[in-house]
Amino acid sequence: MSPTKPILKVLVDRSRCCGYGLCAQVCPEIYELDADGLVVLAMDTVPDGMEEAAREGAAACPAEAITIVETSA
């Protein structure tokens, strides 16, 4: 049996979002801004190959409103 690759889930605390939009600049495939300029997710599971961009987008948030967690299938 081969080990399963962990699934990365993106969690957002919109109450912490200040609307800088750095996450969306770094990784627009996952992070978007709503009409009020606050982060919303285009998807909450990180696709294969986008792990680094998703993590960089989360790390770019000065309010630390974005967390990426590993889950199993």
Report DSSP letters for the chain, one per residue: -PPPPPEEEEEE-TTT-----HHHHH-TTTEEE-TTS-EEES-SBPPTT-HHHHHHHHHT-TT--EEEEEE--
pLDDT tens digits, one per residue of 11-49: 999 999 999 999 999 999 999 999 999 999 999 999 999
**pTM of the predicted structure, to 2 decimals:** 0.89
Domains assigned to the chain: 7-71 (3.30.70.20)
